Amino acid sequence: MWKQLFVQTERGRFEVFVKGTGPPLCVTHLYSQFNASGDYFADVFTREHTVYLVNLKEAGNSDSVRSPYEFFMLETVFDLESIREALQIKRWIFAGHSTGGMLGCLYGIHASNSLDALLIVGAAAREYATSSSACIYHVEHPHYKMMQQFIERLKDPYLEENQRRKIAEERTKLSLYRPDHYSSFFSKPIHKKMSAARMNFFAREILQFDVTKQLPVVNTPTFIACGRYDVQCPLPFSEEMANFIPHAQLVIFEESNHYPFLEEKELFEVVIQEFLKTKCLN
């Protein structure tokens, strides 16, 4: 289990879960609500790092927003910086999967000096749903309607817990290279919910999101990973980020969809630790 902390900052109070030992590393996601059971992506780093798993505003027991603008990704970067400062951490690594990786792009653009490294997995630096029919959020994708139905049901705060878990499982299977391996990939007693308020705001913000032209200012070591068959943020978006971020390292996982850190777990852990030891621990 993860240790729960409440971090008071000048921008509000945040619920943070901590696990592991070693150099500090921050993980978050734009609309997930974490708890003491942890997170599969964050678990990857706990053997080598002290991992701070952050509930953003309107998620878990963190403060509510006082104004809608606080949901913006740029404001969220400022929130993370306030948490880092309150914890008296000079620099840390930021790791983000999916929308967490999108947030990572902004973190690298606006606060590279606070980062020892940036780890971006299965993400994009711009709106992806309408520009690629390979994306499951594109209206022409064969699983578009099914995915939308799952998302809307998961937003329901009154959804019975067993139903929530079943719907979440079916939703996740749409983003696996081998959906029949779901049970082995997701075998830990980890459970989390979705912040409907954050998800709804993200659905609007993403329509105008494009930071590709700003990526060249990122000056921290950057690792980008993507599954060859990612249906949420298809591979070309990771290739694009790698082309724009100076000296970024891109690793493509040939037998993965959206979860290479589970679908090719051993390989993922080897290459990412090799990157970190080479780029920022020497």
* CATH classification at residue 70: 3.40.50.1820
Residue 78 lies in a domain: yes
Q: What integer pLDDT is reported at residue 281 of this predicted model?
A: 54
38 HSE (CA, 13 A, CB side): 19
Owning domain of residue 21: 3-133+191-279
Question: Would you give the DSSP letter of residue 183?
Answer: H
Q: What integer pLDDT is reported at residue 232 of this predicted model?
A: 96
CA-CA distances (angstroms) from residue 187 to 40, 43, 173, 179, 184?
10, 13, 14, 14, 5
Q: In the chain, how many domains are there?
A: 1
Residue 103 lies in a domain: yes
Residue 152 lies in a domain: no
- The answer to whether 57 and 63 are in contact (CB under 8 A) is yes
- Residue 74: φ, ψ to 5°: -65, -40
* Residue at token pair 């880092």: 84
Task: Tell me the pLDDT of the chain (282 aa) as tens digits.
Answer: 899 999 999 999 999 999 999 999 999 999 999 999 999 999 999 999 999 999 999 999 999 999 999 999 999 999 999 999 999 999 999 999 999 999 999 999 999 999 999 999 999 999 998 888 999 999 999 999 999 999 899 888 889 989 998 999 999 999 999 999 999 999 999 988 889 899 999 999 999 999 999 999 999 999 999 999 999 999 999 999 999 999 999 999 999 999 999 999 999 999 999 999 987 754
Burial class (CB in 10 A: 0-12, 13-18, 19+), 174: middle
Distance between CA 195 and CA 33 in Å, rounded? 6
Residue type, 41: F
Element (H, E) at 86: helix 73-86
Residue 146 lies in a domain: no
Q: What integer pLDDT is reported at residue 282 of this predicted model?
A: 47
What's the start-to-end Cα distance of the chain, in Å? Answer: 31
Q: What integer pLDDT is reported at residue 11 of this predicted model?
A: 98
Residue 183 lies in a domain: no
Q: Distance between alpha carbon 208 and the CA centroid of its chain, in Å?
A: 19
Residue 181 lies in a domain: no
Q: Distance between alpha carbon 85 and the CA centroid of its chain, in Å?
A: 21
Residue 220 lies in a domain: yes
Residue 34 lies in a domain: yes
